[in-house]
Chains A and B, each alone.
Chain A
Amino acid sequence: MTLEIIKPGLATSVQDLGRPGYFHLGIPEGGAMDRLALRAANLLVGNDEGAAGLEAVFMGPEIKFGAEMSVAVTGADIPMMLDGDPRETWTSFTVKPGQVLSFGFLKAGARLYIAVSGGIATEPALGSRSTYPIGALGGFEGRAVAAGDAIPVGTGAVVAEGRSVPLALRRRPGTPAVLRVLTGLYWHRLTEKSQKAFFDDAWVVAPEADRMGYRFRGGTPMEFVDRPQPFGAGSDPSNIVDGCYSYGSIQVPGGLEPIVLHRDAVSGGGYFTLGAVISADMDLIGQLQPNTPVTFKRVKMDEALAARAARKTMLADIRQALA
């Protein structure tokens, strides 16, 4: 059983929940940028939550199905047609061999997750099917899908049509999107004025934002506390000697444009990181289009942990709704 890619869209790739355990070797966890949306898509078609699906960004691919299977598309808000007939996102439907799924123009959000019953069955690499294109690792031949690819699909039972995630459980960023931040080890490098400005300023998503990092622009250039640069750090005050980067950490090269490191980011380097976006808000970043207004909100650890717990509750509610 296969999915035939007629039109690939932009950087559409096979993604599951990622490959933890190799970040210390410089291999990122990878996996879906919006993990909750991928989990929901899999649950809709009766898969394990961690099965591999297709992640498409900003535009939909065109896909021909090689067999009867259940399909669900979650994440972004985008019109979708099966052989020209509209289908709803966040809802399961059945396709017959030879039918073609296509998409209209993206309305809201940024990434869509296409799950099929049985899951995408490419060969796992280091325990995951997620595509890491820079390392040519995982997914379909280690790259984004291309026109003419026949993507293998595993064996799964067809489920009922019309299984749907309740509206209240479809998480989307607001306008402006609010990203909650815990300040970190190098926060003291910024002057008080710049510390305040980072949280007060109106930022927008820069068009360069991708799976490695989301870049933001529009805020005030940052000022650093004077210090003699340590040996090996270089002359730019946004440099440190070297440090580990966590998932979600925020670096600001030259003090100009903050970059939130995401699923395919490097594990370390020589930029100071002012803090990190809390884990509960990382999925929201995956749904941000270029030029979306964004503000950063400072939180404490207890709020970050409460947000993580709330997100777990939401996932439990989705599981229950689709049980």
Chain B
Amino acid sequence: MSNIQSPLPGTFYHKPSPEEPVFKSPGDAVAIGDTIGLVEVMKTFIAVTSEVEGTFVKYMIDDAAPVTAGAVLAELA
């Protein structure tokens, strides 16, 4: 099990844009460098990438919810 944490405070998004599907769904393979979500701050979207390999379990923060730096965004198995 490993967690992916937010690199900075802002608003967390599960999707690249509102019309598109989520970056990862439960059971998806996650490779190092895969984007699992976006954090928006100062009118900039920052891609949150995985630094480990694994299987996506779930998002730990709701879509479009505020996050702090270090908040656990997603769980990998």
Contacts and interface: CB of A to CB of B under 8 A. Distances in A.
Interface residues of A, number: 16
Given A59-B69, A105-B69, A289-B68, A207 B40 contact: yes
Nearest to B43: A208
Given A59-B69, A291-B66, A106 B9 contact: yes
Contacts of B6: 105
B10 A290 contact: yes
Contacts of B5: 105
A105 B42 contact: no
Interface of A is mostly: loop
Contacts of A104: 70
Nearest to B7: A59
Contact of A210 (B43, B66, B68, B70): B43
Nearest to A205: B9
B52 interface: no
A207 B11 contact: yes
Contacts of B9: 58, 106, 289-291
Contacts of B10: 58, 207, 290
A59 B44 CA distance: 14
Nearest to B65: A291
Interface string A198-222: 0000000001111000000000000
Interface in B23-53: 40-44, 46
B57 interface: no
A314 interface: no
A11 interface: yes
Interface of B: 5-11, 40-44, 46, 66, 68-70
Interface of A: 10-11, 57-59, 104-107, 207-210, 289-291
